[in-house]
Amino acid sequence: MTGRLGLAVAVAAVAAVPSVAPTYHVLLMLPFMAYGVVLLGLNLLFGYTGLVSFGHALFIGIGAYTGAFLTSNFGVRSLEAIVLTAALLGAVVAAPVATLCVRYVKIYFGMLTLAFGMVFYTFVLKFYRLTGGDEGIPYLRPSLLGFGLEGIPKTDYLTGPYYYYSLVVLVLAAAVMWRIVRSPFGLCLKTIRDNPAKAETLGIGVGRYRWYAFMISAVYASVGGALLGAPIGNVDPTLVYWTHSGNIVFMTLLGGFASFFGPILGAFVFIYLEDFLKSLAPSYWRLIFGALLAAIVIFAPGGLMGLVRRARPLRAA
Amino acid sequence: MRASRRDFLKGIGAAAVAAAGAPAIVSAQARKGVPSDPVKLGVLAIRAGIAAPVGTAGLRGTEWWADRVNNGGGILGRKVQLVVEEESNPKDTVERYRKLVLQEKVDVVLGGISTGVTLALGTVAEDLATPWLSWDGTTQKGVEETMPNPKWAFKSVDNEVEAIVAGMLTPKYFKGIKTVAGIGNDYSYGHDCWQSYQAVLKRYIPDVKFVLELFPKLGVTDFTSHIAAIQQSKADLLMCSFWSGDATIIMKQAAAVGLFKTMKGVFTTVGGVHDSLKKDFTPEGLLLGYNTMYFDDPKGSPLLKQFVREYKAKYNEYPPYECDHAYFNAESYKAAVEKAYASAQEWPSKAQVVKALEGIEVESLSGRRGWREDHVQMCNFYQGLTTHKNAYDFATINPIEVVSTKQAMKPAGAKLFDWINSWKI
Amino acid sequence: MIQHVVSVLMSGIFHASILFLVSAGLQVVFGVQKIFNLACGSFYALGAYVGVSAVQAYAAAGGPPAFFIVPLVLGGLLIGIVGVVVERGLLRFVYDRDETFQLLLTFALVLMLEDAIRLTWGTSPLSTGGMYLVYGQVRILGAAVPVYNLIVIAASLAIAVGIGALLTRTAFGRIIRAAAGNREMAEALGVDMRRLYAVVFTLGTALGTIGGALVIPATAAMSEMGIELIVEAFAVVVIGGLGSMRGAFVGALVVGVLRAVAISVYPELEMLLIYLIVIAVLVLRPRGLFGAAATAT
């Protein structure tokens, strides 16, 4: 019960931020929420199925570019339409990619996903007549639930209606993912992660389930990407580069891949820490970040949630 | 007039210090309507990756300007404080920009080099109602599509200007050119330069043939294959728009196979790394572009000479053009503030500063340059033929051509290729 | 025509030589320790920067240009010692962990080395100036080829042969191959894995740093050069097969020459072609040309 209460408090706290925090910090929460959605999906693959994707920025890119294409080239401004289209496109692209990738595990899976990510990056960069190349495509202000809201300045729009919209999407995404991991499907994934051979003997089609997990994680990443792109206003290929994929895996690890909320916590800490360090040590924040990642990998592989669990003895669920 | 104001300020300061008996310099020089705390200027500088050299140069230029201004008492007596953030990719840079304006509460943001970033920043700058003076990074798309009538954003010169100038100068210095090969980085700048160069050259040499175009991606360090392809094309001339370390590399690798023994070369923007073009591998007779500042300009002002001297002493390098963009942006801001103050008699609002910036001209490192009414930089471009007759270990240019943006940049509201095609040759 | 073919081939082989060195470093580490070292590109960059500094110091001290290659190679070789520091100080803590964590640790290394290099050498591109041209050029079937390129190709070949000999003819090489084949068995037979891992990782690092040092006279040391290279090295080891030296050799040739040909014939394709081959290999024959069987369920 305290878990539920804690969750409610957290959501309420996030909802209260625009009223109490300075504008800049409110704006920082937007990528946090977008990444939260992405990581919920990524962790289905990582924490629950045991597959680490090093190419998920591909799907973030698909989501962001969907928003850019729809708003700039097709005049479609509805964020609902954008999110749905992003989810659909994410699934369409993920289908063949997943089919190829889930035959392999561990390092080969990581390498294959990295390769796909970089192919998409090269494609987006090279075919500039279609994608804008390095200049990217503008992602114009989307309308929320039919309201254009063009009258208010973009910053007010972002810290107000867009903020709450993102929060609702994150909460919904989390609720859906919670059901997924609690369902028999989720249990099968965990079995596959822990002992694929046993899973086969139990009649669980390992490849098939991994495929579903991949598809779901791709859809989540695309939705997150659609949310991530709007505040930037311009979508470009750097969103798809392999280091971006590496960063989201970093966030997952930072928060704790073995926990449901770990990755979301990881996104929050990553974003604020990065912001803090960039201002504090503009010449060597990457050094500090790298050292931090190394420290987590070596000393706290369970991430922050892992440390929390170690501090508090296990309680009955 | 500025000199006398500085003396005036110094006089006031000295008197006040003597009177107060304490070195409260800032408050001593407070003027009517001017706050006593320092004025914060945000700076976005690239620190990593291929553009790091020019980003670093821009930051150094801004810092030199700030020291100079502060030694002279600041802007209207207010000390200048630079708040520096990193320009990286568009998403992160937009966040840093927002931080500068919303959290650090800077009065102006200086900087911005990379095309993708400046495109993203444009709309953000307009939204946050703070003047943004960009160093570099304006392509046709940025000018025409995303920011047609900016209120707060001040854009750099159109990126293609140096290619246009090179196109104008090519027929002057290289006779009998029939075939041309081009190599540029695989992104908007590289493509835009090539297209502009082609359009201009065709006006002067209508039956010129473009036999090869190569666009290696940014960050490639091995051009031996590209050079082999260029050699095979047997073009009369190679046009190259590289502006960072890759320019040095291709020059070196070309020299290793004697490419320029039989081919003419035009390097539109190599000024970014000019002092790395050592004489050992940079032949004479190439057309080189130094963008808006040539460090060794014989007609250079005392300001430029002092800057070059001190830059070399401090960093053991010779400054590239980004220093000039950076200095100009900062100096124009200062001049605009002073101009707006003169009529308002109090520290101007951001909107007043913007108004004062339009049409202003100041003395920059490279000479006089200014902001056009539509928020685009106006300045001179320096290009010339390489020579080894100098006191350095790298190539410089002689003769030096100075072409103004009045001739080489399309006028406000015009479309680039229509304008080129309308020239009277 | 023949001249052009030779030009293209020679440039492809030159590029392949450097790729081979970096990939060989990747392979030897993966083969024995089963770690895919994302920081191999960073070691390459480190070797490049150290190489420049060594040559610049040498030139400032008045050394004759003809022998510049000595401080260059020495610099590249000696900085390989960083491998020991990284292995003992960082990597050895995660040997018993999942491969993913090992991979992430090398990613952390990439981040750290990026800033470390930038803090040490700054952001301006550094080069050894005209040293590259000191040995002049030769004509092969009409094509002008810089002699330095030939030296690099020869050096790379020599190293390839040397490693081959090391692996197949020496006792140490046998131990390496045994440990690569079956870690537990090797350990049971008395191999000191700790020492072996330190030596192997340092060897892998040194191959990367030498590759960087050797290539630098022909190019320039630039910010983030390591991050760019990792993608090509990755293609090489996938095509050649993870863990195989022969694979690194053949893979490097394939990537180097194909890239050169693509640039000559159809420049649009360039890197895209390489990635598509990578995907094709991973899908059709995941162990690459010479690798061990892939870990599929």
Question: Tens of pLDDT along B196-213?
Answer: 999 999 999 999 999 999
**DSSP class of residue B298?**
T
Nearest chain C alpha carbon to B55: C123
pLDDT of B6 above 60: no
Domain annotation covers residue A290: no
Q: What is the structure's pLDDT at C283?
A: 78
**Across the interface, do C260 and B257 touch by the CB < 8 Å criterion?**
no
Contact C115 A123 (CB under 8 A): no
**What pLDDT is stored for residue B145 in this prediction?**
59
Whether C294 is in a domain gets the answer no
Give C110 to chain A, closest Cα distance, Å.
Answer: 8
Q: How many domains does chain A have?
A: 1
What domains appear along chain B, each with residue ranges and CATH number?
31-157+299-378 (3.40.50.2300), 161-291+380-421 (3.40.50.2300)
Does the beta-carbon distance from A278 to B86 stay under 8 Å? yes
* Maximum separation of any 2 CA atoms in chain B, in Å: 78
Average pLDDT over residues C201-208: 93
Q: pLDDT per residue over C5-14, tens digit each?
A: 888 899 899 9
Q: Report residue C137: phi and psi, to 5°.
A: -140, 160
H helices of B275-415, in order, are 302-315, 322-344, 350-357, 405-408
Q: Taking 70 as the threshold, does the pLDDT of residue C191 lie above it?
A: yes
Query: What pTM did the predictor assign?
Result: 0.90
What is the number of domains present in chain C?
Answer: 1
Looking at the domain assignment, is residue A230 inside a domain? yes
Q: Which residue has the tokens 């591909």?
A: A58
A268-272, B339-343, C231-235: least confidently modelled range: C231-235
Number of Cβ pairs < 8 A linking chain B and chain C = 144
Q: How far apart are CA A282 and CA B395, in angstroms?
A: 34
User: Which residues form the domain of A230?
Assistant: 22-240
pLDDT tens per residue, range B57-89: 999 999 999 999 999 999 999 999 999 999 999
Residues of B with Cβ-Cβ distance to C122 under 8 angstroms:
56
B115 has which bridge partners?
A: none
The answer to whether the CB of B28 falls within 8 A of the CB of B78 is: no
Q: Does A246 touch chain C (CB under 8 A)?
A: yes
Res B23: pLDDT: 44
* pLDDT one-digit tens code per residue, A136-147: 999 999 999 888
As a whole number, the mean pLDDT across chain B is 89
Percent of chain B with pLDDT over 70: 91
The pLDDT tens digits for B154-198 are 988 888 899 999 999 999 999 999 999 999 998 889 999 999 999
Average pLDDT over residues B305-319: 95
Strands C137-140 and C143-146: antiparallel
How large a percentage of chain B has pLDDT more than 90? 72
Q: Do A115 and C101 touch (CB under 8 A)?
A: no
Any domain includes C293: no
Q: Which residues contact B422 (CB under 8 A, 6 or more apart)?
A: none
In this prediction, residue B419 carries a pLDDT of 92
Nearest by CB: C104 against A103, A122, A253: A253
The mean pLDDT of chain A is 90
Cβ-proximal residues to C274 (8 Å cutoff; 6+ apart), any chain: C232, C235, C255, C258, C259
* C232 inside domain: yes
Report ipTM for this prediction. 0.91
- Region A199-222: mean pLDDT is 90
CB contacts of A286 in chain C (<8 Å) are 111-112, 114-115
Torsion angle of C-alpha atoms C211, C214, C218, C224, degrees rounded to 10: 40
Res A314: pLDDT: 59
CB < 8 Å to B279, chain C: 130
Tell me, yes or no, if B249 comes closer than 8 A to chain C by beta carbon: yes
- Residue C219: inside a domain, yes or no? yes
Tell whether A298 lies on the interface with C, counting CB pairs under 8 A: yes
The DSSP element (H or E) to which A249 belongs, if any, is helix A242-255
pLDDT in tens, C14-46: 989 989 998 999 888 888 888 889 899 999 999
Say how many C-beta atoms besides its own lie within 10 A of residue B151's C-beta. 12
With a cut of 80, say whether residue B26 has pLDDT above it: no
Of B273, B297, B283, the closest CA to residue B401 belongs to B297
B55–chain C Cβ distance below 8 A for any pair: yes
Instruction: Specify the DSSP element, H or E, that contains C116.
Output: helix C99-121
Cross-chain CB nearest to A133 (options B98, B146, B187): B187
Note whether B102 contacts A23, CB cutoff 8 Å: yes
> Residue C290 falls within a domain, yes or no?
no
CB distance from A232 to chain B under 8 Å?
yes
Q: Can you give the CATH number for the domain in which C36 is found? A: 1.10.3470
- Identify residues of B whose CB sits under 8 angstroms from chain A CBs: 47-48, 84-86, 89-91, 94-96, 98-99, 102-103, 115-116, 119-120, 123-124, 127-128, 139, 141-142, 145-146, 186-188, 191, 217
Percentage, residues of chain C above pLDDT 90:
35
Report the residue from B84, B85, B116 with minimal CB separation from A135.
Answer: B116
Residue-number span of the structural domain to which C65 is assigned: 2-284
Domain annotation covers residue A47: yes
Residue C139: half-sphere exposure toward Cβ, Cα within 13 Å = 5
Closest to C102 in 3D by CA, of A253, A218, A57: A253
